Amino acid sequence: MAVLPIVEVPDPCLRLVSRPVEAFDDRLRSLIADMTETMYNAHGIGLAAIQVGVDRRVLVIDLQEERDEEDKPVRHPRAYVNPEVLEVSDEASVYNEGCLSIPEQYAEVTRPARCRVRWQDEAGATHEGEMDGLLATCMQHEIDHLNGVLFTDHLSRLKRDMVMRKLTKQRKAA
């Protein structure tokens, strides 16, 4: 496994619509392992392949909500290949989102509270499931990446500009 470099805004590859995965092979499994290692290394809970410069519809998620007896997060990474949202709830939820491609910047984003998603696993088997809470938010955020959409696109222009100004200021200070 390798830690991959994370693509950051304003890199234009973050605006690409990722292509479907067709080959469920060792290269895919290696990409998933590397993405998972990269996500943990960056202290994230989700990562889309395009965020590591790979134009494929793959994402990994591990909310790490469970803790062991030493209060360390218990890891349960999941890979979602060719995921698609089938339905969303009318009910909305607001979550203070961040993104590894927009480091250390956060803003409240309103999204559907629940979603039904279809995806394939790393062997190509198809699955479908209902998601809610943080998992629904994270899944929608990562699928947005596969469609060239950033969480800041869900903000008003004023809030988006504030986030980008903070990022610019942070980068200058570093």
Residue with the two structure tokens 């895919």: 28
- 60 closest CA partner among 130, 69, 42: 42
Which of the residues are catalytic?
A: 142
The rounded distance, in Å, linking the Cα atoms of 155 and 166 is: 15
**CB-CB contact of 81 with 21 (8 Å):** yes
The rounded distance, in Å, linking the Cα atoms of 9 and 100 is: 10
The rounded distance, in Å, linking the Cα atoms of 130 and 87 is: 9
| Residue 87 burial (C-beta neighbours within 10 Å; 0-12, 13-18, 19+) | exposed
The rounded distance, in Å, linking the Cα atoms of 60 and 45 is: 8
Bridge-based pairing of strands 78-88 and 92-99 is unpaired
